[in-house]
């Protein structure tokens, strides 16, 4: 019996967007408290795992918040270069969330 599910099947919203010129923020939002708590307990989204998933140095992760009132996990990273500057491949930061879609969550956590 499969006890794992993709994060994208559990979350209502998984998104990334600009947070000023030098940052990208991520929101992973759930419909109900039970699923939010399950993902938190599973340990798939922590400061350490986010850095590993995004392949960024921990010094670039400026914020990591589990926001209980909204059933949301939110985090922000520093960009490698300012939004819209030469070499910036995602001016709006809206395409950076993709690595989180297929993260597997153990439902037995």
pLDDT tens, position by position, 8-17 = 999 999 999 9
Indicate the domain borders of the chain: 4-106
Distance CA 65, CA 75 (A): 6
Cβ contacts of residue 89 below 8 Å, gap of 6+?
A: none
CA atoms within 13 A on the CB side of 94: 3
Distance CA 91, CA 73 (A): 23
- Please, which pLDDT band fits residue 1 given cuts at 50, 70 and 90? low
pTM of the prediction? Answer: 0.92
Instruction: State which CATH number among 3.90.75, 2.60.120, 3.40.1130, 3.30.70 fits the domain covering 4-106.
Output: 3.30.70
């Amino acid at each position: 019996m499969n006890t794992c599910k993709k994060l994208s099947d559990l979350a209502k919203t998984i998104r990334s967007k600009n947070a000023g010129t030098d940052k990208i923020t991520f929101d992973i939002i759930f419909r109900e408290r039970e699923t939010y708590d399950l993902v938190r307990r599973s340990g798939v989204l922590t400061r350490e795992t986010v850095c590993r998933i995004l392949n960024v140095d921990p010094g670039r992760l400026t914020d990591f918040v589990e926001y209980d009132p909204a059933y949301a996990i939110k985090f922000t990273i520093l960009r490698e270069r300012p939004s819209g500057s030469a070499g910036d491949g995602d001016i709006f930061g809206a395409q950076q969330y993709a690595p989180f879609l297929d993260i597997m969550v153990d439902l037995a956590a």
